[in-house]
């Protein structure tokens, strides 16, 4: 009876050794897959936060539409840039806000700079293009018809970017990249 028991125990020890070796081979593969899932999740979450920041700035622009003028446009641009930049924490994103092809505030690494022609904020524009590449066209003193349809209006454009750095940079699919989000809000 004793030799049978010894052989059974020896077989169990051999099976345990094989399981440990299999585990040692499989764990690194699962860790790499898990790290990739975490990176993709973090990137999607950062993009969602960027989208939310631009939406907050857009909402602020709509609520303060009366300030799209040559006298208050610069202050509005600065306020919207602050809302976007701080929507998810202090100095979270870089952004650029243009109030009706006039006052512009650009924030890069917490440094704000102003530019643009304030007088343009009093005109009406036929904004065309798409995200990240808006075209203002000719400024009109009244709301005239646009050649592509619709009528000229007053707009605020918001463009934001966030530098995403992955947790594990072993993947070349998700390298360090800059996420972008943009919106054009018709306020009048």
pTM of the model: 0.80
Give 130-169 pLDDT, tens digit per residue.
Answer: 887 888 888 899 888 988 788 899 999 999 998 888 777 6
Tokens of 18: 């094989």
Burial of 94 (0-12, 13-18, 19+ CB in 10 A): buried
Do 39 and 171 form a contact (C-beta atoms < 8 A)?
Answer: yes
- Does pLDDT of 110 surpass 70? yes
Q: Can you tell me the distance from the alpha carbon of 127 to that of 13, in angstroms, rounded to the nearest whole number?
A: 75
- Does pLDDT of 54 surpass 90? yes
């Amino acid at each position: 009876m004793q030799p049978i028991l010894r052989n059974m125990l020896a077989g169990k020890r051999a099976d345990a050794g094989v399981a440990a070796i299999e585990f040692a081979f499989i764990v690194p593969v699962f860790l790499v897959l898990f790290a990739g899932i975490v990176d993709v999740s973090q990137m999607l979450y950062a993009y969602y936060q960027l989208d939310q920041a631009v939406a907050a700035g857009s909402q602020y622009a709509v609520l303060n539409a009366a300030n799209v003028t040559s006298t208050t446009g610069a202050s509005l641009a600065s306020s919207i840039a602050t809302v976007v930049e701080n929507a998810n924490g202090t100095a979270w994103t870089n952004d650029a806000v243009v109030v009706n092809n006039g006052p512009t505030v650009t924030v890069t690494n917490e440094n704000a700079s102003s530019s643009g022609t304030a007088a343009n904020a009093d005109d009406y524009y036929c904004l065309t293009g798409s995200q990240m590449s808006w075209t203002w066209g000719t400024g009109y003193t009244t709301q005239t018809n646009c050649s592509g349809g619709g009528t000229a209006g007053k707009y605020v454009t918001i463009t934001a970017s966030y530098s995403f750095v992955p947790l594990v940079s072993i993947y070349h699919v998700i390298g360090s990249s800059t996420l972008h989000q943009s919106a054009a809000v018709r306020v009048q």
